[in-house]
Structure 1
Amino acid sequence: MKLLTFKQDNKLKLGIKTDKGVLHVEEAAKLLNLEVPHSIEETLRNQSKVEALQVLVKEGLEHSDESIFLDEKEITFGPAVPRPGKIICVGLNYKKHAEESNMPLPEYPILFNKFDNTISSHRDTISLPFNSSENDYEAELAIVIGKVAKRVSKEDALDYVFGYCNANDLSSRDLQFRTPQWLLGKSCDGFSPIGPYLVTSDEVGDPNQLKIKAIVNGEIRQNSNTSDMVFKCHEIVSYISDHMTLSPGDLIFTGTPEGVILGMPEEERVYLKEGDEVTIEIEKLGSLTNSFKQEV
């Protein structure tokens, strides 16, 4: 399934993408008299309720009342995971990206974190910091944890994953490298747009065989495959779980491929500016698009 959130009456509602449009979960459940989760958080806390959502979709598609379906073009999206727990990111996790950055392949996953203030949605306009002039995009596959994971094996690690979504690990490079710690340039408001969908693991299959792109103002800048990861998704989940407990709703950003602005020759770097539009496309996960304005 492709789950999503949308805004209605100043609240976030749960939706499911279908061939008829976005199924309004709350309204469909009332019409069909079915008990289902009404939020991403409730679904993540109890994966057994996913089956109830599948039944809702099946019965909703068969029902004659099409008012329970919304036009995706007309909804205002919320984040695919509105209230994540931990946001853990992996740096230099694509071989060609490490090469373009003139950095050696890491021996262990390079981990850093972001915070929930960075979370934003598909179609949001994101503010570029007033004191930064070097803002960069990073197309990334995000893992969404669905079960408590502590010291899980590589072989079992993906069993703890609920699903995946597109992410853009936006980075203010001048702030990022102001000190040896990257946090400042990674944690500006809105700097982790995710979505538009949270796609369940069963629909994605192998997360390390997905095409991944970043498109800036119509120009393809990043064009790779998650197979180029240094540390694969199952290795990342297992490694992190050795050192900290992962919980439902935790996000793991798995790194970005080559083609970021920072990887270009210095004289060719043109960083993001007001009015730019960036789309992150990942096979089976849809397209995440954001525009930018300059903070003053």
Structure 2
Amino acid sequence: MPLLVFSLSDGLRRLGVQSQETIHDVSQVFGVSDVATFLRRGLEVLDIENLRLASEPIDPADVVIHAPMHQPGKIICVGLNYHDHCREQSIDPPPYPILFSKFANAVADPNGTVTRPIATEMLDLECELAVVIGRRASRIGREQARDVIFGYTILNDITMRDLQLEDRQWLRAKSSDGFAPMGPVVVTADEVEDPHALRLRSSVNGETWQDSTTAEMIDVATVVAFVSRTITLEPGDVIATGTPAGVGHYQDPPRYLVGGDRLRCEIDGIGALDSVVVDEEPRADDHAAAAGVA
């Protein structure tokens, strides 16, 4: 069942359930306004289903969709997790998942904007399947991983390639404000029959950049179990599982995002995540601030 966060004309965020062509507000009974809080309180999806049947439907045209979790506990990302992404770089896949993180300030709403900072000339996208954790998990095995997964959503791992190369690590290049557009919904795990048989696509201004399948990646259960060996996973945590081939940096010639570009990330069974790139406005003190950095 798809869960989402939305607002009406009053601007208040609400937790909802998407059902065919309608949305049902289930936030008032639970007193929560996003999926992460719902999970942290240990609430049950079955309760939501019963409430959906009793609530009045809302027309999707009347709502604004927000990121399903605007304050996730952790955003853990996996690098070089797709075999075709490794092939386009002419490197071997790593023997185990490579982990890094993004901060909560990076979360951005669907149908919103991605700001291209003045610090970069090499902005790129990465369409990713994101795992939403539903139960606490510490040092679990691969066979237990499915039991702790609540559902799946889409995350666009926006990246400044020049800073990534300059820093020789990925945190600063990937955690700028708004660099993790997420949504539009969280689809519960029971509705995703095989998370490794999903077509994943990204496009810029309608032109396809990425078109692959999650069969190319290290499987979800392995990733979740690997993370839990050293990092306790909590309800509401997000694991972005990596991106396939086709990102702008490895095209020939390389291509990067600029103001006005329209981005779309799509994953079968989950939906489409849209964003528009806007250029950051320069400030008078930008050069002075940069000069003061050692």
Please tell me the residue identity of whatever aligns with 1:7: S
C-alpha contact 2:36 2:237 (8 A) present in aligned 1: no
Which of 262, 265, 286 pairs up with 1:280? 265
Cα distance in 1 for residues equivalent to 2:24 and 2:174: 34
Q: Deviations over 1:37-57 (max 9, x none)?
A: 533234212445211101112
* Aligned-residue identity in percent: 39
Post-superposition CA distance 1:201-255 (Å, at most 9, x none): 01112211111100111111111110100x2100000000001100001110000
Moved more, 90-99 or 178-187: 178-187
- C-alpha root-mean-square deviation of aligned residues, in Å? 1.4
Match of 2:151 among 163, 187, 193: 163
After TM superposition, list the pairs within 5 Å mapping 1:188-207 onto structure 2. Answer: 188-207=176-195
Once the two structures are TM-superposed, the CA of residue 20 in structure 1 deviates from its matched residue by 4.1
| 1:17 aligned partner | 18
Cα distance in 1 for partners of 2:30, 2:169 equals 43
Q: Who is 1:244 aligned against?
A: 231
Where do 1:82-231 residues align within 5 Å? 82-229=70-217, 231=218
- The 3 A distance-change label for structure 1 pair 131 and 202 is same
Aligned residue identity for 1:261: G
Q: Which AA in structure 1 matches 2:121? A: S
Other-structure match for 2:248 = 261
- Letter in structure 2 aligned against 1:41: A
Distance 2:261 2:37 in 1: 35
Q: What are the within-5 Å matches in structure 2 for residues 20-99 of structure 1?
A: 20-26=21-27, 35-36=29-30, 38-39=32-33, 40-60=35-55, 68-99=56-87
Report the alpha carbon displacement of residue 138 of structure 1 after superposing the two structures with TM.
0.5
Deviation at 1:130, TM superposition (A): 1.0
Look up the equivalent residue of 2:44 and give its one-letter code: K
Would you say the 8 A contact 2:37–2:236 is kept in 1? no
Q: How far apart, CA to CA, are the structure 2 residues paired with 1:19 and 1:140?
A: 24
Give the letter aligned to residue 256 of structure 2: Y
CA distance in 2, matches of 1:221, 1:41: 31
Contact 1:123 1:290 in 2 (8 A): yes
Letter in 2 for 1:275: G
Aligned residues: 279
Check conservation: 1:20, 1:69, Cα contact below 8 A: no
**Residues 164 and 170, structure 2, Cα contact 8 Å, conserved in 1:** yes
Q: 1:222 to 1:238 in 2, by over 3 A?
A: same
Which residue of the other structure, out of 213, 220, 228, is the alignment partner of 1:233? 220
The DSSP-based 3-state class of the residue aligned with 1:262 is: helix
SS of 2:249's partner is helix
Contact 2:200 2:214 in 1 (8 A): yes
- 2:44 is paired with a residue whose SS is helix
Contact 2:25/2:52, CA 8 A, preserved across alignment = no
